């Protein structure tokens, strides 16, 4: 966990994702621990508008962001199931899979 402002947080999450396997697999959360406002959970890589509608985006980072949200909301068992379903990338087709976004998402859903 790193506590910083948004600018440096964005830089650090990009760097952390890059050195740990690629930003395509890194989840991120901007937390409001006081819960006086919303928290935000998103993949580090952003929205990838250059491949929008082509079924090329890897959904793993977005799915792991949902697991992070479940943890924050207190449903640690569901979060653990989601993380476990994403853990074996080879079973999902590997890091550079030729599977479509939907196929990868369906493969994770089947494992949850």
Instruction: Give the per-residue pLDDT at 76.
Output: 97
DSSP string, 41-85: EEETT---GGGTTTT----HHHHHHHHHHHHHTT-HHHHHHHHHH
Q: What is the pTM of this model?
A: 0.81
Give residue 83's pLDDT.
94
DSSP state of 24: G
Using CA atoms, how far apart are residues 109 and 1, in angstroms rounded to an integer? Answer: 27
Q: How far apart are CA 23 and CA 11, in angstroms?
A: 12
pLDDT tens track of the chain, all 112 residues? 777 887 887 788 788 878 877 777 788 888 888 999 999 998 887 677 888 889 888 888 899 999 999 999 999 999 999 999 998 876 776 656 678 889 889 989 999 9
Q: What is d(CA 45, CA 66) in angstroms, rounded to the nearest whole number? A: 15
């Amino acid at each position: 966990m790193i506590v910083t402002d948004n600018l440096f947080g964005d830089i650090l999450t990009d760097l952390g994702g890059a050195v740990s396997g690629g930003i395509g697999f890194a989840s991120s959360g901007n937390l409001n621990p006081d819960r006086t406002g919303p928290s935000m959970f998103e993949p580090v890589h952003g929205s990838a508008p250059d491949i929008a509608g082509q079924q090329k985006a890897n959904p793993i980072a977005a799915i792991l962001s949902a697991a992070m949200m479940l943890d924050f909301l207190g449903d640690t068992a569901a979060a653990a199931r989601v993380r476990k379903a994403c853990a074996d990338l080879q079973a999902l087709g590997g890091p550079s899979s030729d599977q479509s976004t939907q196929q990868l998402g369906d493969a994770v859903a089947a494992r949850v």
